[in-house]
């Protein structure tokens, strides 16, 4: 039995997604920018999918910009806002636990004279809105704080931070790639101006994402080209992947979050009882429903992951985009772990297809291989 517990990195595409992509590739292969019949049919697929995504977010269809994924969406939000602002403002605020695509994008703007403030987090990885308020200035043009952390699952107080930004006339961007369809987030209720999502974290295809851009938000494009997506994102649209994205959203089971949360807690309880000294990284309550990140008392995660993989159990030590880097996780350092403790941390992330039998088998294997009782 293979057990996949690396769903924070990517998920297995749903059958409905694969069928939608195959059908679209076969029948709607025209360029959606073309005016002939095949192009018009492809454009209809794109616009139906845009409507599906907009409804899932509580947005309007013309506020959705399709991208190649979360990384591009985050770069477009951060850099596009700064480039559009020009000399009106030269200050951006991000949290210390953002995804690298936000952090690196913001720091790259320092070469252009933009000042970047990093707001720290508490021991659970949570941002204090008051700490954000303290660093805001008249030059601040953007605050970027994610909805759910990609490593420790912390659910950030985006409602409060968004309200703070709205009151100061500052744009608020939220990376919701991990939480989209798992945790409630309605842009009609949360004061967010830019929001990043992608498909492959919810059983959709890789290489497709979107950026929600609230009406009236100034945003400069990353790419020069044909002016697709209302001039915000040039390039021929990936119609089959867009169709797959919509199919993934339509296949979401609203009851799955509570099931994942129950199984996640069952996994944690099993490990906590059997491994003396094991610690939870991140919050106990304000946590993404499918995320579990633990620090093992004596076992380094990479050798353990190799042993688990040999046994058909697949997990990770942290963010997949940073796994090739030897440096300790910035997220784990930000919550107070030492460099030695970061290399003993294990991330286990469930999907709506994870079963209780799989959770129990994974717990037994981790306990056995980590030297628990």
Which residues does the annotation mark as catalytic? 321
DSSP letter at 333 equals H
Residue 50's alpha-carbon distances to 47, 192, 358, in angstroms, are 5, 19, 35
What is the spatial distance between Cα 348 and Cα 361, in angstroms, rounded to a whole number? 13
Give the 3-state DSSP-derived string for 222-279, with helices as H, strands as E and coil as C: CCCCCCCHHHCCCCCCCHHHHHHHHHHHHCCCCCHHHHHHHHHHHHHHHHHHHCCCCE
Q: How far apart, in whole angstroms, are the C-alpha atoms of residue 213 and residue 223?
A: 17
DSSP result, 54-121: HHHHT--GGGEEEESSHHHHHHHHHHHHHHHHGGG--EEEEETT--HHHHHHHHHGGGGT-EEEEE--
């Amino acid at each position: 039995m293979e057990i996949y517990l690396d769903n924070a990195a990517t998920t297995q595409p749903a059958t409905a997604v694969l069928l939608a992509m195959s059908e679209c590739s076969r029948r709607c292969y025209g360029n959606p920018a073309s005016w002939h019949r095949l192009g018009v049919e492809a454009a209809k697929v794109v616009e139906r999918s845009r409507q599906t995504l907009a409804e899932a977010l509580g947005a309007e269809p013309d506020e959705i910009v399709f991208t190649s994924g979360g990384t591009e969406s985050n770069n477009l939000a951060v850099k596009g806002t700064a480039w559009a602002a020009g000399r009106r403002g030269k200050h951006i605020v991000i949290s210390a636990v953002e995804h690298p695509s936000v952090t690196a994008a913001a720091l790259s703007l320092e070469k252009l004279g933009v000042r970047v403030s990093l707001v720290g987090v508490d021991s659970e990885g949570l941002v204090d809105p008051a700490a954000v308020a303290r660093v805001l200035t008249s030059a601040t043009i953007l605050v970027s704080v994610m909805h759910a952390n990609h490593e420790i699952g912390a659910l950030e107080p985006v409602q409060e931070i968004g309200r703070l930004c709205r009151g100061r006339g500052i744009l608020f961007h939220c990376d919701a790639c991990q939480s989209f369809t798992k945790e409630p987030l309605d842009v009609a209720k949360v004061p967010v101006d830019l929001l990043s999502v992608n498909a492959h974290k919810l059983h959709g295809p890789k290489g497709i994402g979107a950026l929600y851009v609230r009406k009236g938000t100034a945003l400069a494009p990353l790419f020069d080209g044909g002016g697709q997506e209302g001039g915000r994102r040039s390039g021929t649209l990936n119609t089959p992947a867009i169709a797959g994205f919509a199919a993934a959203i339509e296949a979401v089971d609203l009851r799955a979050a509570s099931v994942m949360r129950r199984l996640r807690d069952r996994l944690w309880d099993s490990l906590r009882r059997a491994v003396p000294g094991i610690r939870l990284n991140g919050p106990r309550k304000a946590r993404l429903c499918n995320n579990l990140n633990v620090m093992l008392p004596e076992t380094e995660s990479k050798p353990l992951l190799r042993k688990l993989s040999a046994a058909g159990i697949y997990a990770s030590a942290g963010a997949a985009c940073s796994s090739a880097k030897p440096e300790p996780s910035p997220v784990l350092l930000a919550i107070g772990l030492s460099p030695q403790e970061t290399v003993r941390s294990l991330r286990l992330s469930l999907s709506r297809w994870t079963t209780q039998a799989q959770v129990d088998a994974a717990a037994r294997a981790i306990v056995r291989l980590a030297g628990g009782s």
